[in-house]
Amino acid sequence: MRTHVVDHPLVAHKLTTLRDERTDSPTFRNLTDELVTLLAYEATRDVRVEPQEIRTPVAATTGVRLARPRPLVVPILRAGLGMLDGMMRLLPTAEVGFLGMVRNEETLQASTYAERLPEDLSGRQCYVLDPMLATGGTLAAAIRFLVDRGADHITAVCLLTAPEGCARLEELLQDLEVPVTVVTAAMDERLDEKGYIVPGLGDAGDRLYGLAE
Ligand SMILES: O=P(O)(O)OC[C@H]1O[C@H](OP(=O)(O)OP(=O)(O)O)[C@H](O)[C@@H]1O
Ligand SMILES: O=c1cc[nH]c(=O)[nH]1
Ligand SMILES: [Mg+2]
Protein backbone atom coordinates (compact mmCIF):
# COMPACT_ATOMS: atom_id res chain seq x y z
CA MET A 1 0.00 0.00 0.00
CA ARG A 2 1.24 3.46 -0.90
CA THR A 3 0.23 6.58 1.05
CA HIS A 4 0.63 9.93 -0.66
CA VAL A 5 0.27 13.06 1.48
CA VAL A 6 -0.37 16.00 -0.84
CA ASP A 7 2.03 18.76 0.16
CA HIS A 8 0.63 22.01 -1.23
CA PRO A 9 0.05 25.36 0.47
CA LEU A 10 -3.51 25.68 -0.88
CA VAL A 11 -4.39 22.26 0.49
CA ALA A 12 -2.94 23.19 3.90
CA HIS A 13 -4.77 26.53 3.88
CA LYS A 14 -8.17 25.05 3.07
CA LEU A 15 -7.67 22.18 5.49
CA THR A 16 -6.98 24.60 8.34
CA THR A 17 -10.36 26.32 7.84
CA LEU A 18 -12.03 22.93 7.48
CA ARG A 19 -10.65 21.82 10.84
CA ASP A 20 -11.71 25.03 12.63
CA GLU A 21 -14.67 24.30 14.92
CA ARG A 22 -16.19 27.68 13.99
CA THR A 23 -16.60 26.65 10.32
CA ASP A 24 -20.30 26.15 9.57
CA SER A 25 -21.80 23.34 7.44
CA PRO A 26 -22.20 25.31 4.16
CA THR A 27 -18.56 26.46 4.34
CA PHE A 28 -17.44 22.97 5.35
CA ARG A 29 -19.19 21.49 2.30
CA ASN A 30 -17.63 24.04 -0.06
CA LEU A 31 -14.15 23.52 1.34
CA THR A 32 -14.51 19.74 1.14
CA ASP A 33 -15.49 20.10 -2.50
CA GLU A 34 -12.49 22.32 -3.29
CA LEU A 35 -10.05 20.11 -1.37
CA VAL A 36 -11.23 16.97 -3.11
CA THR A 37 -10.64 18.50 -6.52
CA LEU A 38 -7.07 19.34 -5.51
CA LEU A 39 -6.54 15.80 -4.15
CA ALA A 40 -8.21 14.28 -7.21
CA TYR A 41 -5.54 15.80 -9.43
CA GLU A 42 -2.94 13.73 -7.57
CA ALA A 43 -5.20 10.70 -7.13
CA THR A 44 -5.77 10.39 -10.90
CA ARG A 45 -2.09 10.58 -11.80
CA ASP A 46 -2.18 6.90 -12.86
CA VAL A 47 -5.68 6.80 -14.35
CA ARG A 48 -5.56 4.57 -17.40
CA VAL A 49 -5.60 6.21 -20.82
CA GLU A 50 -5.43 4.89 -24.36
CA PRO A 51 -4.18 6.52 -27.58
CA GLN A 52 -6.61 8.62 -29.60
CA GLU A 53 -6.04 9.91 -33.12
CA ILE A 54 -7.35 13.43 -33.71
CA ARG A 55 -6.92 16.27 -36.18
CA THR A 56 -6.18 19.76 -34.90
CA PRO A 57 -6.96 22.63 -37.30
CA VAL A 58 -3.30 22.32 -38.32
CA ALA A 59 -2.32 18.64 -38.39
CA ALA A 60 -3.10 15.06 -37.43
CA THR A 61 -1.75 14.01 -34.05
CA THR A 62 -2.09 11.28 -31.46
CA GLY A 63 -3.39 12.16 -28.01
CA VAL A 64 -5.05 10.12 -25.28
CA ARG A 65 -8.49 9.55 -23.84
CA LEU A 66 -9.64 7.72 -20.72
CA ALA A 67 -9.43 3.98 -21.31
CA ARG A 68 -12.41 1.60 -21.20
CA PRO A 69 -13.81 0.29 -18.94
CA ARG A 70 -14.50 3.65 -17.33
CA PRO A 71 -13.18 4.27 -13.82
CA LEU A 72 -15.64 3.71 -10.98
CA VAL A 73 -15.98 6.32 -8.23
CA VAL A 74 -17.33 4.98 -4.92
CA PRO A 75 -18.29 7.45 -2.20
CA ILE A 76 -18.78 5.81 1.21
CA LEU A 77 -22.02 7.16 2.64
CA ARG A 78 -22.65 9.31 4.47
CA ALA A 79 -19.61 11.57 4.66
CA GLY A 80 -18.04 10.39 1.38
CA LEU A 81 -21.01 11.83 -0.49
CA GLY A 82 -19.64 15.28 0.28
CA MET A 83 -16.61 14.41 -1.85
CA LEU A 84 -18.43 13.18 -4.95
CA ASP A 85 -18.90 16.43 -6.90
CA GLY A 86 -15.29 17.48 -6.35
CA MET A 87 -14.08 14.17 -7.78
CA MET A 88 -16.52 14.12 -10.70
CA ARG A 89 -15.33 17.57 -11.75
CA LEU A 90 -12.10 15.90 -12.88
CA LEU A 91 -13.61 12.59 -14.00
CA PRO A 92 -17.00 13.59 -15.43
CA THR A 93 -17.39 10.39 -17.46
CA ALA A 94 -16.67 8.03 -14.55
CA GLU A 95 -19.35 5.66 -13.34
CA VAL A 96 -20.52 6.05 -9.74
CA GLY A 97 -21.34 3.25 -7.29
CA PHE A 98 -22.40 3.64 -3.67
CA LEU A 99 -21.49 1.96 -0.41
CA GLY A 100 -23.29 2.87 2.81
CA MET A 101 -21.16 2.07 5.83
CA VAL A 102 -21.27 3.11 9.45
CA ARG A 103 -18.83 2.67 12.30
CA ASN A 104 -20.29 1.57 15.64
CA GLU A 105 -19.11 4.34 17.95
CA GLU A 106 -18.71 1.90 20.89
CA THR A 107 -16.93 -1.04 19.25
CA LEU A 108 -15.47 0.96 16.30
CA GLN A 109 -16.54 -1.93 14.03
CA ALA A 110 -17.67 -0.93 10.54
CA SER A 111 -20.81 -2.43 9.01
CA THR A 112 -22.39 -2.08 5.57
CA TYR A 113 -26.04 -0.97 5.35
CA ALA A 114 -26.32 -0.20 1.62
CA GLU A 115 -24.63 -1.24 -1.59
CA ARG A 116 -25.27 -0.21 -5.18
CA LEU A 117 -22.33 -1.27 -7.32
CA PRO A 118 -21.86 -3.11 -10.62
CA GLU A 119 -21.77 -6.89 -9.99
CA ASP A 120 -18.63 -7.38 -12.04
CA LEU A 121 -15.74 -5.00 -11.48
CA SER A 122 -13.18 -7.01 -13.47
CA GLY A 123 -10.46 -4.78 -14.81
CA ARG A 124 -11.90 -1.66 -13.19
CA GLN A 125 -9.95 1.16 -11.60
CA CYS A 126 -11.85 2.29 -8.49
CA TYR A 127 -11.63 5.58 -6.61
CA VAL A 128 -13.00 5.27 -3.07
CA LEU A 129 -14.04 8.51 -1.37
CA ASP A 130 -14.14 8.82 2.42
CA PRO A 131 -13.00 11.93 4.28
CA MET A 132 -11.71 10.09 7.36
CA LEU A 133 -9.35 7.12 7.64
CA ALA A 134 -9.37 6.66 11.43
CA THR A 135 -8.99 3.03 12.63
CA GLY A 136 -9.04 1.94 8.97
CA GLY A 137 -11.85 -0.59 9.49
CA THR A 138 -14.31 1.13 7.14
CA LEU A 139 -11.88 1.60 4.28
CA ALA A 140 -10.46 -1.93 4.62
CA ALA A 141 -13.95 -3.44 4.35
CA ALA A 142 -14.84 -1.21 1.38
CA ILE A 143 -11.64 -2.05 -0.51
CA ARG A 144 -12.05 -5.78 0.11
CA PHE A 145 -15.62 -5.57 -1.17
CA LEU A 146 -14.45 -3.97 -4.43
CA VAL A 147 -11.53 -6.36 -4.92
CA ASP A 148 -13.80 -9.37 -4.27
CA ARG A 149 -15.91 -8.13 -7.22
CA GLY A 150 -12.85 -7.97 -9.48
CA ALA A 151 -11.50 -4.40 -9.14
CA ASP A 152 -7.81 -4.45 -10.05
CA HIS A 153 -6.67 -0.98 -9.01
CA ILE A 154 -7.78 0.98 -5.94
CA THR A 155 -7.14 4.59 -5.00
CA ALA A 156 -8.69 5.94 -1.81
CA VAL A 157 -9.07 9.69 -1.44
CA CYS A 158 -9.25 10.75 2.22
CA LEU A 159 -9.12 14.27 3.62
CA LEU A 160 -7.44 13.08 6.83
CA THR A 161 -5.63 9.94 7.88
CA ALA A 162 -4.28 8.64 11.19
CA PRO A 163 -1.01 6.69 11.41
CA GLU A 164 -2.70 3.86 13.36
CA GLY A 165 -5.38 3.52 10.66
CA CYS A 166 -2.88 3.45 7.81
CA ALA A 167 -0.83 0.77 9.56
CA ARG A 168 -3.96 -1.29 10.23
CA LEU A 169 -5.19 -0.90 6.66
CA GLU A 170 -1.86 -2.15 5.37
CA GLU A 171 -2.04 -5.15 7.71
CA LEU A 172 -5.67 -5.98 6.88
CA LEU A 173 -5.03 -5.82 3.13
CA GLN A 174 -1.61 -7.45 3.01
CA ASP A 175 -2.93 -10.53 1.18
CA LEU A 176 -4.34 -8.43 -1.70
CA GLU A 177 -2.45 -8.50 -4.97
CA VAL A 178 -4.21 -5.38 -6.20
CA PRO A 179 -2.30 -2.07 -5.89
CA VAL A 180 -3.83 0.21 -3.25
CA THR A 181 -2.95 3.91 -2.90
CA VAL A 182 -4.25 6.34 -0.29
CA VAL A 183 -4.13 10.01 -1.28
CA THR A 184 -4.69 12.40 1.61
CA ALA A 185 -4.36 16.05 2.60
CA ALA A 186 -2.73 15.20 5.94
CA MET A 187 -1.46 12.41 8.16
CA ASP A 188 -2.50 13.57 11.63
CA GLU A 189 -0.88 12.77 14.98
CA ARG A 190 -2.93 9.92 16.41
CA LEU A 191 -6.35 8.59 17.40
CA ASP A 192 -7.97 9.45 20.73
CA GLU A 193 -9.62 6.92 23.06
CA LYS A 194 -12.91 7.23 21.10
CA GLY A 195 -11.22 6.51 17.77
CA TYR A 196 -11.33 10.13 16.61
CA ILE A 197 -8.45 11.61 14.63
CA VAL A 198 -6.35 14.13 16.61
CA PRO A 199 -6.26 17.05 15.89
CA GLY A 200 -8.68 15.98 13.12
CA LEU A 201 -11.84 17.89 12.33
CA GLY A 202 -14.44 16.10 14.45
CA ASP A 203 -17.25 14.03 12.93
CA ALA A 204 -17.06 14.63 9.18
CA GLY A 205 -20.62 13.38 8.47
CA ASP A 206 -22.15 15.60 11.15
CA ARG A 207 -20.16 18.64 10.04
CA LEU A 208 -21.14 18.12 6.39
CA TYR A 209 -24.79 17.43 6.97
CA GLY A 210 -25.45 19.34 10.17
CA LEU A 211 -26.95 16.63 12.37
CA ALA A 212 -24.76 17.71 15.30
CA GLU A 213 -26.78 20.89 15.87
O1 LIG B 1 -11.53 4.40 9.91
P2 LIG B 1 -12.73 4.11 10.74
O3 LIG B 1 -12.40 3.99 12.21
O4 LIG B 1 -13.54 2.97 10.24
O5 LIG B 1 -13.65 5.42 10.71
C6 LIG B 1 -13.86 6.18 9.57
C7 LIG B 1 -15.31 6.21 9.19
O8 LIG B 1 -16.07 6.93 10.17
C9 LIG B 1 -16.84 7.94 9.51
O10 LIG B 1 -18.08 7.48 9.09
P11 LIG B 1 -19.28 7.24 10.11
O12 LIG B 1 -19.26 5.82 10.59
O13 LIG B 1 -19.28 8.28 11.16
O14 LIG B 1 -20.53 7.37 9.18
P15 LIG B 1 -21.15 8.69 8.50
O16 LIG B 1 -20.30 8.95 7.29
O17 LIG B 1 -22.53 8.29 8.18
O18 LIG B 1 -21.07 9.81 9.49
C19 LIG B 1 -15.98 8.28 8.32
O20 LIG B 1 -16.67 8.95 7.30
C21 LIG B 1 -15.45 6.95 7.88
O22 LIG B 1 -16.34 6.26 7.02
O1 LIG C 1 -12.17 11.66 13.57
C2 LIG C 1 -13.06 10.97 13.03
C3 LIG C 1 -13.04 9.56 13.04
C4 LIG C 1 -14.01 8.87 12.40
N5 LIG C 1 -15.02 9.54 11.79
C6 LIG C 1 -15.05 10.90 11.77
O7 LIG C 1 -15.98 11.49 11.19
N8 LIG C 1 -14.08 11.57 12.39
MG1 LIG D 1 -20.00 10.07 11.20
**Which ipTM score applies to this complex?**
0.98
- Residue identifier of the C-alpha nearest atom 21 of ligand 1: 132
Q: Is 76 annotated as a binding residue?
A: no
Q: Is the pLDDT of residue 46 over 90?
A: yes
Q: Is the pLDDT of residue 213 over 70?
A: no
Q: Count CB neighbours of 43 within 10 A.
A: 26
Q: Is 1 annotated as a binding residue?
A: no
- Structural contact between residues 15 and 194, judged by C-beta atoms closer than 8 angstroms: no
pLDDT in tens, 178-201: 999 999 999 999 999 999 999 999
User: Does residue 4 have its Cβ closer than 6 Å to ligand 1?
Assistant: no
CATH number for the domain running over 2-49+67-198: 3.40.50.2020
User: For residue 113, how far is its CA from the centre of ligand 1 (angstroms)?
Assistant: 13
pLDDT in tens, 108-166: 999 999 999 999 999 999 999 999 999 999 999 999 999 999 999 999 999 999 999 99
User: For residue 104, how far is its CA from the centre of ligand 3 (angstroms)?
Assistant: 10
Task: Calculate the dihedral angle through the C-alpha atoms of 92, 94, 96, 97, rounding to the nearest 10 degrees.
Answer: -160
Domain boundaries, the chain: 2-49+67-198
Mean pLDDT across 43-57: 97
User: Does residue 159 have its Cβ closer than 6 Å to ligand 1?
Assistant: no
Which of 110, 126, 122 lies closest to 46, judged by CA? 126
User: For residue 122, how far is its CA from the centre of ligand 3 (angstroms)?
Assistant: 31
Helix (H) or strand (E) holding 36: helix 25-43
pLDDT in tens, 60-97: 999 999 999 999 999 999 999 999 999 999 999 999 99
Overall pTM > 0.80: yes
User: CA 21, CA 211: separation in Å to the nearest integer?
Assistant: 15
User: CA 204, CA 213: separation in Å to the nearest integer?
Assistant: 13
- Residue identifier of the C-alpha nearest atom 6 of ligand 2: 203
User: CA 96, CA 115: separation in Å to the nearest integer?
Assistant: 12
From the alpha carbon of 195, which atom of ligand 1 is closest? 3
Q: Which residues pair with 77 in a beta bridge?
A: 100
- Quick one: which ligand is closest to 131's CA? 1
- pLDDT for residue 211: 64
User: Does residue 131 have its Cβ closer than 6 Å to ligand 1?
Assistant: yes
- pLDDT for residue 107: 96
CB within 8 Å of 140: residues ≥ 6 apart: 110, 168, 169, 172, 173
Q: Is the pLDDT of residue 27 over 70?
A: yes
- pLDDT for residue 210: 84
Residue predicted with more confidence, 113 or 213: 113
